[in-house]
Amino acid sequence: MLPRQLFKTFFNLLIICLLLLNSSCTKPNFYEKKFLVYGTILEFKFFETPKNIADEAMANIIAQLNELNSIFHPWQNTVIKKFNNNQIANICDDRQIQIIYRASHYEKVTNGFFNPAIGALIEAWGFHTDEIVEKTPDDALIDKIINSRPSLKQLNLNQGCLEKVNHFLQIDLGGMIKGYALDLAKDEYQKLNIKNVLTNFGGNIYAHGQPENRFWEVAIQDPYDQTQLLAKLKLPPGSAIGTSGNYEKYFMHNGKRYSHLINPTNGSAFSNHSSATVFISPQDEVGVKSDVFSKPFYFSSDLKQTQLDMNFNNFFVTDLNRNIYITESMLEKIEWVFEEGKYFVQGI
Q: pLDDT tens digit string along 28-58?
A: 689 999 999 988 899 999 999 999 999 999 9
**336: which strand partners?**
231
Indicate the SS3 state at residue 163: strand
Query: Residue 303: which residues within 8 A CB-CB, separation 6 or more?
Result: 297, 317, 325, 348
At 38 the pLDDT is: 85
At 7 the pLDDT is: 39
Q: Is residue 155 part of a domain?
A: yes
The response to whether 112 counts as a known ligand-binding position is no
- Residue 331's Cα: distance from chain center in Å? 22
User: Cα separation of 268 and 261, whole Å?
Assistant: 9
**For the segment 105-122, what is each residue's pLDDT rounded down to a tens digit?**
999 999 999 999 999 999
pLDDT-derived band at 337 (thresholds 50, 70, 90) equals very high
Residue-wise over 129-168: b if at least 16 C-beta within 10 A, else e?
Answer: eeebeeebbeeeebeebbeeebbbebbeeeeeebbbebeb
- Residue 158's Cα: distance from chain center in Å? 31
167-196 mean pLDDT: 97
Q: Is residue 26 part of a domain?
A: yes
At 2 the pLDDT is: 34
Is the model's pLDDT at 8 over the cut of 80?
no
Structural domain that includes position 276: 1-301
- φ, ψ (nearest 5 deg) of residue 181: -65, -40
What percent of the chain clears pLDDT 90, i.e. is strictly above it? 85
321-336 mean pLDDT: 98
The answer to whether 319 and 346 are in contact (CB under 8 A) is no
Is the model's pLDDT at 15 over the cut of 50?
no
User: Cα separation of 23 and 310, whole Å?
Assistant: 37
What is the DSSP secondary structure assignment for residue 199, as one 8-state letter?
Answer: E
At 13 the pLDDT is: 43
The response to whether 175 counts as a known ligand-binding position is yes
199-204 mean pLDDT: 94
At 18 the pLDDT is: 42
At 29 the pLDDT is: 87
Q: What is the DSSP string of 237-306?
A: TT-EEEEEETTSSEEEETTEEEES---TTT--S--SEEEEEEEE-S-TTHHHHHHHTHHHHHH-S-HHHH
323-328 mean pLDDT: 98
**For the segment 141-160, what is each residue's pLDDT rounded down to a tens digit?**
999 999 999 999 999 999 99
Q: Is residue 251 part of a domain?
A: yes
Tell me, what CATH number does 32's domain have? 3.10.520.10
Say how many domains are in the chain: 1
User: Cα separation of 80 and 67, whole Å?
Assistant: 13
User: Cα separation of 265 and 242, whole Å?
Assistant: 22
The amino acid at 55: D
Indicate the SS3 state at residue 36: strand
**For the segment 279-297, what is each residue's pLDDT rounded down to a tens digit?**
999 999 999 999 999 999 9
**For the segment 213-249, what is each residue's pLDDT rounded down to a tens digit?**
899 999 999 999 988 999 999 999 999 999 999 998 9
- φ, ψ (nearest 5 deg) of residue 197: -160, 140
User: Cα separation of 174 and 73, whole Å?
Assistant: 8
**For the segment 82-101, what is each residue's pLDDT rounded down to a tens digit?**
999 998 999 999 999 999 99
Describe the chain by its helix, strand, coil percentages, rounded to 5.
35, 25, 40
Q: Is residue 212 part of a domain?
A: yes
205: enclosing H helix or E strand: strand 204-208
Q: Is residue 347 part of a domain?
A: no
pLDDT-derived band at 79 (thresholds 50, 70, 90) equals very high
Using a cut of 0.85, tell me whether the model's pTM lies above it.
yes
pLDDT-derived band at 130 (thresholds 50, 70, 90) equals confident
**161: which strand partners?**
158
321-345 mean pLDDT: 97
222: enclosing H helix or E strand: strand 216-222
